Copies of this chain bind each other. A is one copy, B any other.
Amino acid sequence: MASETAPIDHFWAVIPAGGAGTRLWPLSRSSAPKFLHDLTGGGRTLLQGTLDRLAPLTGDRVVVVTGRPHRDAVRAQLPEVSDGWVLAEPSPRDSMAAIGLAAALLERHDPDAVMGSFAADHVIADPDLFAESVRAAAAVAREDWLVTLGIEPAFPSSAFGYIHLGDPLPGHPGATAVREFVEKPSVRTATEYLATGRYRWNAGMFIVRPTVLLDLLGRWHPEFAAALRAIAADPARLDELWPGLPKIALDHAVAEPAADAGRVVCVPSAFRWEDIGDFDSLAALVGGDAAGAAVLGDASLVRAVDASGLVVPASGRIVAVVGLDDVVVVDTPDALLVTTRARAQDVKQVVAELKEAGRAELT
């Protein structure tokens, strides 16, 4: 029996590194999306943190799928990942294409592979609990299930989709069938979900054998699966076939119909998970329980008088905040954002306005 600290046999991590992160502007830019940034103040970027968490499970079996403009930055941040496994998408085609491309390549490269896809911009506080869940999920996936990790909800969030749990899966303590995936609910509905104890946050983490994933895709999108396999058979056809791939999330293309078809299993997980979608969640992450303003960066640059919220002094300048609660101040060399935690979602409006005003270089 393999040790619980050794890499999982034939287990591959697939890290889709995409998404503009416009709600984290001006920290996150289209030229340097959020996964390339250290948003926790721990000295590693989100992408590096993702690798750090996975490396004990995979050894060097890591595939990163990113946009062409970011391939060099990804390689520079992840020298451990072999060059050939940093895949560059010719254009953004959502998560099914990105993860499906990795699956098609792995299907040919390692017939015994089990892959797990983990976004490059998540934060997980308990790497050991995470590893435990992934090990359990990989064991289930080896039996040809599509497995998802179900995060224990910390509160009735309306920002995440939910996994509705079904019956226990024999032979795998804790694992259950997935009855259905449900879209982001209202807080009221989320509260009802939590009261039942039968719902988990959907973090978009899928563990599956590449062939199973592509075969499931082939049931509902046969041309999509065929195109991915054609690219894997002849990578020179990437630029020819890629633009024709549907722009669709893996959740919609495969996970939801597969759940209806009884092919999805959930491994409920207790690790603390953060999807840093906006400055409100970043403030929660950085601030912890501390009073006053949380600082992401050099706290000696910040003077806060009767202020709480989040300050990011990323330009080297002094930032003074006086008499504002739950404020968000993000100071970068060419752009400054001032808002509140409550309005964090609306930052994307600024990005849209800047693009309209012909200032796309700032976005």
Contacts and interface: CB of A to CB of B under 8 A. Distances in A.
A329 interface: yes
Contact of A354 (B318, B322, B359, B362): B318
Contacts of A26: 318, 320
A320 B337 contact: yes
Contacts of A336: 317-320, 329, 331, 336
Copies of chain A in the complex: 2
A303 B303 CA distance: 25
Nearest to A341: B323
Interface in A183-231: none
A335 interface: yes
Contacts of A331: 336
Interface string A344-363: 00110110011000010010
A338 interface: yes
Contacts of A249: none
Given A303-B350, A343-B306, A350-B303, A322 B338 contact: yes
B322 A349 contact: yes
Interface string A1-36: 000000000000000000000000010000000000
Contacts of A354: 303, 318
A342 interface: yes
Q: Which 8 A-B pairs have the closest CB atoms?
A: A323-B343, A322-B339, A318-B335, A320-B350, A319-B336, A321-B338, A320-B337, A322-B343
Contacts of A333: 317
Contact of A347 (B306, B322, B335, B337): B322
A154 interface: no
A339 B319 contact: no
A240 interface: no
Given A319-B335, A320-B335, A331-B336, 18 more contacts: A26-B318, A26-B320, A306-B343, A317-B334, A317-B336, A319-B338, A320-B339, A320-B347, A322-B339, A322-B343, A323-B339, A323-B346, A324-B324, A324-B327, A324-B340, A329-B336, A336-B336, A338-B338
A339 B321 contact: yes
A253 to B, nearest CB: 34
A347 B362 CA distance: 30
